[in-house]
Structure 1
């Protein structure tokens, strides 16, 4: 499964999780994400929150590196590339969200520390408090609820696209479409 289904298993995510049209932000503000979900989730994944800043490992070797103590030996690299395995971000909440949100605990202080180079100089202390400011957070395209696979199997992607394409983009095939180099 990990080799054949890396997106569904959370190993990788869309490499270009960005809006493809400059109008996306204004379209999203005018409710286009709900009114035209098929188009908007493919062309405006960032504005429609298909891609969210999350705490995900960027390498399949992260669990092994963590087991060998690399998070403490080389925190500058490991915290950025293996934040989930190294415990940089909090565990997902009780809301059954699949991936942990990635955000600073104190935005003002984190900006000060990041601007003064503390992310690199003191990563063990600063990166866990300031994952967003220190560049740990990655916009990724993944399902945002544990029920997504079952709902997709029940054909909810077609029956309820305004909800499903935004909350369950991986299970509904949106993430795979975003990774495609071809024009959608």
Structure 2
């Protein structure tokens, strides 16, 4: 719920951060896509998945040039481990 329903859970105004001292290292090891259930909740800053309430939210973007095309082809549902982290804008996650 905290990841996909942040607005309903009233998390949109919360500060973005990392809540484990290993987050940055895990993100470099691609844990944001391998383990998104943990990483997007406890390491949102390292995974660029902050749920901000403003347009200045750095997490509200697509990190791959093909995100929009993939989203149109249903990949947000088929491949959420990647898409909901790296294609947040195209998958309407922010």
TM-score (norm 2): 0.50
Output aligned runs, 1:1-184, within 5 Å. 15-16=13-14, 18-19=16-17, 21-23=19-21, 24-50=23-49, 138-144=56-62, 147-175=66-94
Alpha-carbon deviation of 1:47?
Answer: 0.2
Q: Which residue of 2 aligns with 1:91?
A: none
Q: Distance in 2 between the 1:147 and 1:31 partners? A: 19
Unaligned runs of 5+ in 1: 1-13, 52-56, 59-137, 176-184
Q: How many residues align?
A: 78
**Which secondary structure does the structure 2 equivalent of 1:170 belong to?**
coil
Q: Which has the higher helix share?
A: 1
Q: Which has the higher strand share?
A: 1
Alpha-carbon deviation of 1:22?
Answer: 2.3
Residues 42, 168 of structure 1: CA spacing in aligned structure 2 closer, same or farther, 3 A cutoff?
farther
Residues 148, 39 of structure 1: CA spacing in aligned structure 2 closer, same or farther, 3 A cutoff?
same
Larger Rg: 1
Unaligned runs of 5+ in 2: 1-11
TM-score (norm 1): 0.31
Instruction: Give the RMSD, CA atoms, in angstroms.
Output: 3.3
**Which secondary structure does the structure 2 equivalent of 1:140 belong to?**
coil
Residues 43, 153 of structure 1: CA spacing in aligned structure 2 closer, same or farther, 3 A cutoff?
farther
